[in-house]
Amino acid sequence: VVELLITSSPIMLFQKGTPNAPKCGFSRQVVELLTTSNVSFGYFNILEDDEVRQGLKSFSDWPTYPQVYVRGELVGGLDIMKELMEEEGGLVEQLELGEFVIKEGADVFVAEDAQQKEEKKEELSLNEKLEQLVNRHRIMIFMKGIPSSPQCGFSRQIVAILDSFNVSYDAFNILEDEDVRQGLKVYSDWPTFPQLYVEGDLIGGLDIVEEMVESGDMEDVLMGGGQD
């Protein structure tokens, strides 16, 4: 279970509480560092699962929280994150996180292979890009803002619902990329945001999510029980 969680998102934060409501100062500061770096990350609230909380300490040989993993490898806790932030290029350059930057023009943070990345970027059609995005994490929301700072009430509510299930998910801020914002409406045949995807399939917007929560179906879908 621990190994699956660590690799469930390219950047994973194991914290006390959620990005919206951290339950300790150290977790709050790490969330701020990641948010300031404008990278998309998944998280897990260790207060909700003591088995994961204890198991991860042994697995990582790291006794405290929060813990940050990048591509399945432990980076460390708050002190190490602060040190990396102060190095040249900050977290993005030190941990090579350019591909996870939410803003358009992520190549600003990339040094020697900027041209190569630009060529690859041009090769990808919008549809291929959207397909990659909806599959970037098992549970993806496309929203206005980011989970720690939603920019509309509907996005805030869908984040609160996902947080209530204590599942790891990833988010994309559609306000930062007009191509994705308009393209996804066509790709999904769904005209509004937020949009929730599970395993690459569109579940719907806030209304449908709320209905599924009331009917009890949402838990099955989020926990991997499938949607019938």
What is the tens place of the pLDDT at every residue in 64-88?
999 999 999 999 999 999 999 988 8
Rounded to an integer, the average pLDDT of 90-111 is 66
Residue 110 predicted with pLDDT over 50 = no
Residue 97 predicted with pLDDT over 60 = yes
Residue 121 predicted with pLDDT over 60 = no
Write out pLDDT tens, residues 194-223.
999 999 999 999 999 999 999 999 998 998
Residue 226 predicted with pLDDT over 80 = no
**Helix intervals (H) in the chain:** 2-6, 25-36, 50-60, 78-86, 90-94, 114-123, 126-134, 153-164, 178-188, 206-215, 217-223
According to the model, what pLDDT value does residue 98 have? 82
Tell me how far apart the alpha carbons of residues 19 and 9 are, in angstroms, rounded to a whole number: 15
Write out pLDDT tens, residues 38-61.
888 889 999 988 899 999 999 998
